[in-house]
Structure 1
Amino acid sequence: MQKSEKQTTKKVKKRTVLGKTILVVGLILFVMIIGVGCGFLTASLNTRPNLAEDIVPPASSQIYDIHGNEIANIHAAENRRPVAINDIPRNLQNAFIAVEDNRFYEHIGIDPRGIVRAVWANIRGRTVTEGGSTITQQLAKNAYLTQDRTMKRKIQEVFLALQLERQYTKQEILELYMNQIYFGQGAYGVQAAARTYFGKDVKDLTLNECAMLAGIPKSPNYYSPLNNMEAATQRKSVVLDQMVKYGYISEGEANTAKKEELSITKITNDGVKGPSYFVDYVLQQMAEKYGDDAIYKDGLKIYTTIDMDLQAAAENAMQYLPTYFTDANGIVQPQGALVAIDPHTGYIRAMVGGRGTDQFNRAVLAVRQPGSAFKPFVFVAALENKYTPDSVIDDKPLKVGGWEPQNYSRNFSGKVRLRDVVRWSLNVPTVRIAQDIGIDKAIYYAQEMGISTFVLDGATSDRNLAIALGGMTRGVTPLELTSAYGTFANRGIHVEPVAIIRVISRTGKVLEEVQRKEKSVISAANAATMTAMMEEVIRRGTGTRANIGRPAAGKTGTTSDYHDAWFVGYTPDLVAGVWIGNDSVSDLHGMAGGMTPAVIWQSFMLKAHAGLPVRHFEGSPAFAASSDDPIEDPEKDKDGKKKTEEKGTESGKPAGASSTSKAGADSNAVPSRAPSSVSEEAPEPGMGVEKGQN
């Protein structure tokens, strides 16, 4: 008996020891688990993002034309256009709440009831079908976290959601969320989505469209109506049913919306809708002022000077460019540029930087020889130095050092008036004028009118007489030359060209407002006199193909080797310049400024002035309208004797215009570059004017 009791006692002791051991081990494991859990929790919380700063997601910038119409949407990785909650339709807000988080206004950022419901649904389905995340949690994930499905990320999401609820109101959270979520097709946020799928602002969406949008974020690629209309329509019905279930709309409203046809309008949110060269010019200026990040991420609104009607007219006119060849880079030649500016405000109204879509903007970046299009700077300098339209200049042989400038006809007319020198673009009298007044005066007025490309020092200085005929070391850009001619149209006042009117931040702050930069360069009387003389160029001189049936003035320009051809002219309302040349600076097959450039200018200006009242230039001298022609046309035989066909194919001609004959083209060609001599009196031998037209 005693032996049996002892054995029993030993067994009890063993069990007690084993139990204690298990308890101790269990406690140790429990403590370790708790410790690891706390450590994991602490590590997760310590590495969560800081909410000290407000949520400011990257936003696209928009560029608008002069009438406030959007012409470009600029963004980096994410196309997003944030909008205020007041601009989001109530139906769209309610649709998201009904289908994503029906207890949004009741929970504190996380919804235990929703989590339990989601877990039970997932257990029943034996797969993850519901996430249980609230709108606040989704905002936390999208704004601060990665999309990884890990425990660490989920813990961070929960704590961030709780913080967000303390930091923001429910309406602020909903606004942030609806500007954050992805809708497929590269669209982030409800505004970008509305424009992508329906071509309208979010504030204008119907109930039908709201329900469709609210259904997309669950699976943006699958439920995109552009990818899968059937699935998108079924998802829309689910959203509408949820809205009925939670009392946001009636069953009748839902049924009506389900039966409505949905019109999907694919709108490209990337890039530019029309004036790509102009937009590139604007972006270049913006980047210099604000940096690339501001353009692509800060949601700027950039209001510009471009007029899309004039832009369309310019692009259509440039179709008259002939086609000669395609270069090694696959670019059709010749190329061209057209710029149109309001001479009174400096607003750039149209800009074409070339044919095709290559990235080189010739309107701004191409520095080319101006030919006789430079001569007005010599003529206006003469007017400012006591010359008059009736001043008589000798048109007889001239030798300056080793240089003997020639007129196109190789003939001389003896005594000619300044107005006839302008009208027929005579070379020798132009050089005599520059020699008389000093070439520095012509350079001065050109600089004051905005030409910035002179070389005034060194072995290839522009301070020589060849520049009187447009022979420059570097050349000019179409933008600057066109802007300079605007001085004549604006009664002697030059206004710097402007592309950007104002820039507004995403918060509505005006960052930039245009300030007109203008200066009085020449007298109003001399500007009017120049205009009157250049009206004769179009009426009866080298630019007759530019006639548009209303007061207009202009000047042709061609280099002696036919590398560049220009026509720059203006009305009281608009100044426009056209340049044509090969990118390789090669032969244009006899094209002169009075030919295709004048034809393009005419085509553009006719459309630009359609429907506008006819305006006359103020203060034009009486001779501008006179038929008096006391001096015989010094180039009268040139058209009959010099017939040169432009090689290549023309894409068309305006009514009544032809560009195959040289009638009406410039009378004289000029050097394509300046002589290397710095002497104002003796350009280097061998750089003389060759036969051609300008």
Structure 2
Amino acid sequence: MKNSNSDVPNKRKDSKKGYTKPIAIILIVFIVMITGAGLGFLTASLNTKPGLTNDIRPPASSQIYDINGNLITTVHSVENRVPVTLNKVPKNLQNAFIAAEDARFYQHMGIDPRGILRAVWSNIMDRGVSEGGSTITQQLAKNAYLSQERTLQRKIQEAFLALQIERQYTKNEILELYLNQIYFGQGAYGVQAAAHLYFGKNVEDLNLAECAMLAGIPKSPNYYSPLNNLKAATERQNTVIEQMVKYEYIDQSSATKAKNTKIALATRQVNSSGGKIASYFVDYVTQILIDKYGADAVYKDGLKIYTSLDLDMQHAAERAMGKLPAVYTDSSGIKQPQGALVAIDPRTGHIKAMVGGRGNDQFNRAVMAERQPGSAFKPFVYLAAIENGMSPSTVIEDSPISFGSWSPVNYDGKLHGKVTLRTALENSLNIPTVKLANQVGVDKPLYYAQQMGISTLVLHGSTNDRNLAMSLGGLTKGVTPLELASAYGVFANNGIKVEPIVIVKIVDRNGKVLEQNNSREKAVVSEKSAYIVTDMMRGVLTHGTGAAANIGRPAAGKTGTTSDYKDAWFVGFTPDLVASVWLGNDNDGYLNGITGGSIPAQIWRSFMTEATSKIPYRDFIRPSGVTIDNTPPEDLNKTDPNKPNDADEKNKDKEKDKDKDKATDKDKSDPSIPSSTEPKPTDKTLPPPPKSEKGESQSVAPPPPKSDKDKKNN
């Protein structure tokens, strides 16, 4: 028995050995497979130079289509390239590129480990390939031999090519090749062609200011082109200059002088007959593609780009914008005033039409012009009031008030006594709007504007938008027509924000889908509040300041006219389409009495009447449980503006029982403290507005508006 029992452990050992052997074999096979796959991938990656097929493949133009598959245009570019030797390139231009693109160019061997580590960390955090950390040598390798796609294999190829280039060429030879290879926009390759395009001179004649501006352009050739967007180009130029100071290529005195040097741009060739159909939209799409895939891919790889544009709506937009008045021609040969129109489907975010000007230049005002919105910003104030527990029939007094040295006045210069919020918004009264902003607090309208898509707000610093002047549209930077249209789309879409989409799908010449974009949605405003403010804005078109925009079907909107008539807006929407129209001078000159309720409203009506002609009649859908009391007190002159009327209180009591977002005891006891689930404030985002009791007042003394004639804000 004893011997029999002693055999049991031995059998268990044998059993373990029996299992261990197959596991070891499987493990070895797995390691061999992984190693083989890795070596195969590395071998494929090391084959850095494209094959013969790619070498002899002829260039093919790309094609841009609208949402219905109609061809908009064929994109191609004749290369404008005049190679120059490095000794003809000013040292300031060489240093500007090194400071801006690759500060360790003379120290690394083609790849920069520091840059790679930074890129790896960024890509891990973003869960994708979002940052390259490319050196000048890597950029040369990519531009000369590789595609612009952001894949691991392409990055490995780029790195090995860079190492090969560094072994075969000197640093100066690499820099010369790079400066002659890089793309500057509008068909210009290399610094010599770019110098002629932008400054009308040879590269060796560029001064420091011009060198810094030129070095800043390749980051985004369309956006930073001084011919298209001098403001953005100058900001980028200043960044390059500061980089040159940082790496001790110039001193601070030279930097200051360069920043103050007036840039003389080459004369633009103006097409007086106007551009091609959707020219601004095509430029916008093209630049997005160049930024992502590179100029060669766009102009030579035969891409098929399917966009959100609707050609029928685009034609309607361009016909409507033909109503722009022509007052004078500026020094660049551009007629003024200029204008912009952008239309978006609020449910999908698809940009359906875009006009960025008169068609005889490339400055796309629809997406690049940051202009003061005037009273077109007021709906965000009224939204904050509705979210704060008020209603369209809440009464506020239109009476004199001062904040320090600033005393807001109404457009008509009159006082209207006690008015409802609905009346104040329909007639764009300034004094009640300022009082309302003071009552709910300035952060709340800014918060909703930002959540709904306005990205240009300045929230911190010595000059910012956190003051009462913002309630009348007096902003530090202003807004773009695209973002204002997108923000109004939240009202049309029941409180849901949808990111604007311009490119729906891209297919390469072999039929491979490179990207496909779907709508991205986010609830940013309660459905109830979005509907109530929309209902209030319907009156703007039926009998308010925007009556000239009435299209005879359910629609809502708002006029905007800034101080001294420098900017005029009409932004409005139906349940299916939102459009913003802006009118102004590029040089910030006056519009001689044009208001948002006149020409912009007429242009909007002309466009929307045609654009919605094939869209079935549809009204705004009232959310369940929402009731709107439009009956003001019988005698407003005897009503205390600070005391809610009985109808408001009854409706509020009913809504409180159904409101899922009812304030907690903590909110009521200390409304200034966000709940633990709310994000903390950052330099870019305001915290969610604290829930507060009706009647709460947060007095804020604002700086005076930029002009003492704010009475013209309507």
Q: Normalized against structure 2, the TM-score is what?
A: 0.55
- Residue 584 of structure 2 corresponds to 581
Check whether the contact 2:378–2:471 (CA below 8 A) recurs between aligned residues: yes
Check whether the contact 2:430–2:711 (CA below 8 A) recurs between aligned residues: no
2:601 is equivalent to residue 598 of structure 1: yes
**Alpha-carbon spacing, 1:633–1:515, altered in 2? closer, same or farther (3 Å):** farther
- Residue 703 of structure 2 corresponds to 683
**Alpha-carbon spacing, 1:624–1:362, altered in 2? closer, same or farther (3 Å):** farther
Q: 2:710 aligns to what SS in structure 1?
A: coil
Check whether the contact 2:497–2:521 (CA below 8 A) recurs between aligned residues: yes
Amino acid in structure 2 at the alignment position of 1:478: P
**Alpha-carbon spacing, 1:436–1:627, altered in 2? closer, same or farther (3 Å):** closer
The equivalent position to 2:393 in structure 1, one of 376, 390, 393, is 390
Check whether the contact 2:355–2:366 (CA below 8 A) recurs between aligned residues: yes
Deviations 1:479-531 (A, max 9, x none): 00011000000000111111000011111111111122221111111111011
CA distance in 2, matches of 1:423, 1:632: 20
Q: CA deviation at 1:382?
A: 1.3
- Residue 609 of structure 1 corresponds to 612
Q: CA deviation at 1:625?
A: 11
Deviations 1:534-582 (A, max 9, x none): 0000011100000111010000000121000000000011000100001
**Alpha-carbon spacing, 1:625–1:614, altered in 2? closer, same or farther (3 Å):** farther
CA distance in 2, matches of 1:430, 1:77: 54
2:71 is equivalent to residue 62 of structure 1: no
- Residue 287 of structure 2 corresponds to 284
Deviations 1:441-497 (A, max 9, x none): 111111111111112222221111100000011100000001100000000011111
- Residue 485 of structure 1 corresponds to 488
Q: CA deviation at 1:590?
A: 0.5
The equivalent position to 1:451 in structure 2, one of 441, 450, 454, is 454
CA distance in 1, matches of 2:308, 2:65: 9
Q: 1:62 aligns to what SS in structure 2?
A: strand
Deviations 1:233-282 (A, max 9, x none): xxxxxxxxxxxxxxxxxxxxxxxxxxxxxxxxxxxxxx985100000010
The equivalent position to 1:555 in structure 2, one of 549, 554, 558, is 558
Please give the root-mean-square deviation of Cα atoms over the aligned residues, in Å: 2.7
Identity in percent:
59
Deviations 1:345-392 (A, max 9, x none): 000000000113201111011110000000011111111111111111
Q: CA deviation at 1:76?
A: 3.0
Matches within 5 A, 1:403-414: 403-414=406-417
CA distance in 1, matches of 2:281, 2:611: 18
Q: 2:322 aligns to what SS in structure 1?
A: helix
CA distance in 1, matches of 2:526, 2:411: 32
Amino acid in structure 1 at the alignment position of 2:510: T
Amino acid in structure 2 at the alignment position of 1:280: D
Check whether the contact 2:392–2:629 (CA below 8 A) recurs between aligned residues: no
Matches within 5 A, 1:203-602: 273-602=276-605
CA distance in 2, matches of 1:523, 1:52: 57
* Structure 1 unpaired stretches of 5+: 1-48, 79-270, 635-678
Q: Which runs of 4+ in 1 moved over 3 A?
A: 49-55, 620-634, 684-691
Check whether the contact 2:392–2:630 (CA below 8 A) recurs between aligned residues: no
Q: 2:541 aligns to what SS in structure 1?
A: helix
Q: CA deviation at 1:692?
A: 2.3
Check whether the contact 1:463–1:680 (CA below 8 A) recurs between aligned residues: no
**Alpha-carbon spacing, 1:685–1:564, altered in 2? closer, same or farther (3 Å):** closer
CA distance in 2, matches of 1:428, 1:500: 43
Larger of the two Rg values belongs to structure: 1
Aligned residues: 410
- Residue 85 of structure 2 corresponds to none
Check whether the contact 2:564–2:709 (CA below 8 A) recurs between aligned residues: no
CA distance in 2, matches of 1:464, 1:290: 42
Check whether the contact 1:381–1:441 (CA below 8 A) recurs between aligned residues: yes
Deviations 1:69-126 (A, max 9, x none): 1111112349xxxxxxxxxxxxxxxxxxxxxxxxxxxxxxxxxxxxxxxxxxxxxxxx
**Alpha-carbon spacing, 1:344–1:359, altered in 2? closer, same or farther (3 Å):** same
CA distance in 1, matches of 2:536, 2:496: 18
Amino acid in structure 2 at the alignment position of 1:482: A
Amino acid in structure 1 at the alignment position of 2:487: A
Q: 1:511 aligns to what SS in structure 2?
A: strand
- Residue 684 of structure 2 corresponds to none
CA distance in 2, matches of 1:333, 1:53: 48
Deviations 1:45-75 (A, max 9, x none): xxxx984867432221111011111111112
CA distance in 1, matches of 2:629, 2:526: 23
**Alpha-carbon spacing, 1:494–1:385, altered in 2? closer, same or farther (3 Å):** same
